[in-house]
Amino acid sequence: MPGVLVVMASAIMFLLTPAWAQSGPAEQEVLQMRQKMARSFAEAVNNKDGMHAADQYSKDVVFSLLVPVQTIVVGREAMQKRWEDILKAGTITEYSGAPKEVHLIGDGAAWSTGTFTYTATDKDGSKRRVQGNWLDMLRREADGEWRVTFQASASAPIP
């Protein structure tokens, strides 16, 4: 599976070069859409709603948490289960996230980066703030909605 991540990351890096040159009304529209997705995701997480948290992902999404523990999740149903388990355990609260940049790479395809923070509750009940970053690929699906098709993220406690 690590080989798949290398291939995906290489493909994304290949696509980044022409994307940097683009900036216009279409990208602003996609940025606004990605901001709306981030707010909706945060609302779902903060309301402990795993189904709506997973709704922003495509049915065939590939998600990779890179650190602190490498985790790979494939498919919207698996993402929904992952978020339902996390939210049921109560280990993540006060989640917020925002895109930093969004770039179109073709008709109905884009990539974005962003940051997120949340409060993590450890098994001993202690709490700590965590921050992280994401890189994702977005696709406009047949229903007209943009969804995440690939996402890699990493996070660490805020010192």
Q: Where are the domains of the chain?
A: 2-157
CA–CA gap between residue 128 and residue 123 (Å, rounded): 12
71-74 and 92-106 as β-strands: parallel, antiparallel, unpaired? unpaired
Which listed CATH number (1.10.620.20, 3.10.450.50, 2.120.10.30, 3.40.190.10) goes with 2-157?
3.10.450.50
pTM: 0.82
Q: Is the model's pLDDT at 145 over the cut of 70?
A: yes
Tell me the pLDDT of the chain averaged across its residues.
Answer: 87
pLDDT digits (tens, 9 = 90+) for 108-136: 999 999 999 999 998 899 999 999 999 99
Strands (E), the chain: 57-67, 71-74, 92-106, 109-121, 127-140, 146-157
Q: Is the model's pLDDT at 42 over the cut of 90?
A: yes
* Average pLDDT of span 72-84: 97
Per-residue pLDDT at 143: 95
